[in-house]
Structure 1
């Protein structure tokens, strides 16, 4: 695709963004489906967030993605948010509709698609989620809407986690709870799915759980961190012969839904496979 005077910008707002694989995903899709857009990353400090949102209108950008740590705080700077994003309380996709900035959340949908693609079902499953940020909110609420039995959120503090728990318990049949307790053998013995939604492992040689834990049941381990591909949590799961869902799978699925919001075009399984191959070879 040739960049010309009609090319529109779509960007990623976050901090940090240097690790992002989103430009490769979206520029591939723009090129294949002949969308005259270009995708760029913008490292935005919290005190510059409002200015950056105004720039979407000023520069007549098609839209943006939003990542850590702005998914929650960006809502107050938007004109409208859809019902799903409103319930979640976090936005990861913005569409500029003739100067009206509309917020959406594709994280939960992307994550759930990754689970279903592995052949797993969600109804009546027991879930443990590490972290209580914007990604946790979207994933937990989407899981609750799919009929999981329980959601146990573990975080360093319970303030944000309690908000998510209250949303779930007040709107869905799933039972939600939270604590600051570290994960142990008994927790994992009773769980069906373990999900890391924290950035632990993204830029540090650490694991969000005690790697000495040995698990004998068939808990599915999911890490939304996609760089590195094999995080310490994924390595721990492989060592214990557990099934895993990689962060890249959620990233691809949520990105494809965001692409649909901006373009109205549905990418296919071949696109997913091609993007995954690009990532693995990267």
Structure 2
């Protein structure tokens, strides 16, 4: 029987996941399909039940469902449980649903592809405290980045992540803006700048120091307003496409126990996004 997979989120029309996974299926001669499913928050429980009943082999989870999907799953991978966020669901042979988080590892792989593995001691500022931010924070810690600060408009949420990490600092947006020149790596992990949404800079980059490494997890558009502003300040830019491809490849491996070609996919999607 043909396997099928999905990505659920709100919005969902910006997602390149169907294109990416479909290409990998073709490249690897796998008889499978992958579809986008628009799921509003109030419909999440019914959507999960429907995907299970209809026999989806697994699916990806994007904004805003990465945390709220957890009560509807039967089991969590230990890292996803620690993060409190899921971006990949595997429909196990016994019918149970198991949640994983591949966002964090995907982000670190993409970051280190650009900057190498020798900058772990730089001060890191993580902007945002949602599901993606949690995944990135725990993965950075796991990969050996000891100096992590988290800033969020609701400081309490930043404090929760720092508390669970057992290290680091929680900062208000104002505190982060005033001390921005101390950070060598700045990561924008909110949905600001996604697609055609109205964009408000999550914090002022006035004090960003030249040569800082600035990343945005949004990949469509490839150069978000946040990255464009940082580039004007002389920052080294890491766009969100590498994270997207690497997290997808890790999910693909969970589903099918095969690892796809990420380098070709990054080149392919970069070309598509630059000419769209």
The verdict on a shared fold, with TM-score over 0.5 as the criterion, is yes
Q: Structure 2 CA distance, aligned partners of 1:227 and 1:279?
A: 7
Contact 2:180 2:207 in 1 (8 A): no
Matching residue of 2:83: 88
Matching residue of 1:110: 106
1:58-98 CA distances to partner (integer Å, 9 max, x unpaired)? Answer: 01111000011110111111111111111111000001112
Over 3 Å counting, the alpha-carbon distance change for 1:134 and 1:55 in structure 2 is same
Matching residue of 1:182: 174
Matching residue of 2:17: 22
Contact 1:44 1:52 in 2 (8 A): yes
Coordinate RMSD, CA, aligned: 1.7
Q: Pick which of 120-129 and 105-114 moved more.
A: 120-129
Which residues of structure 2 form unaligned runs of 5+?
A: none
Contact 2:210 2:233 in 1 (8 A): no
Q: Structure 1 CA distance, aligned partners of 2:154 and 2:218?
A: 21
1:243-281 CA distances to partner (integer Å, 9 max, x unpaired)? Answer: 111011111111111111111111223344334333433
Q: Structure 1 CA distance, aligned partners of 2:8 and 2:121?
A: 36
> Are 1:194 and 2:186 matched, yes or no?
yes
Q: Secondary structure at the match of 1:52?
A: helix
1:141, CA displacement in angstroms? 0.6
Matching residue of 2:225: 232
Kindly tell me the number of residue pairs found equivalent between the two proteins.
Answer: 271
Matching residue of 2:240: 247
Over 3 Å counting, the alpha-carbon distance change for 1:263 and 1:276 in structure 2 is farther
Q: Pick which of 181-190 and 87-96 moved more.
A: 181-190
Q: Secondary structure at the match of 2:173?
A: coil
Q: Structure 2 CA distance, aligned partners of 1:184 and 1:53?
A: 38
> Are 1:130 and 2:127 matched, yes or no?
yes
1:115-141 CA distances to partner (integer Å, 9 max, x unpaired)? Answer: 110133343221101110000000001
1:218, CA displacement in angstroms? 2.1
Find the partner of 1:13 among 8, 13, 17. 8
Which residues of structure 1 form unaligned runs of 5+?
A: 1-5, 170-174
1:186, CA displacement in angstroms? 4.6
1:185, CA displacement in angstroms? 5.9
Q: Structure 1 CA distance, aligned partners of 2:209 and 2:55?
A: 54
Over 3 Å counting, the alpha-carbon distance change for 1:143 and 1:87 in structure 2 is same
Find the partner of 2:251 among 243, 247, 258. 258
Q: Structure 1 CA distance, aligned partners of 2:53 and 2:181?
A: 53
1:159, CA displacement in angstroms? 2.9
Q: Structure 2 CA distance, aligned partners of 1:184 and 1:62?
A: 42
Q: Secondary structure at the match of 1:38?
A: strand
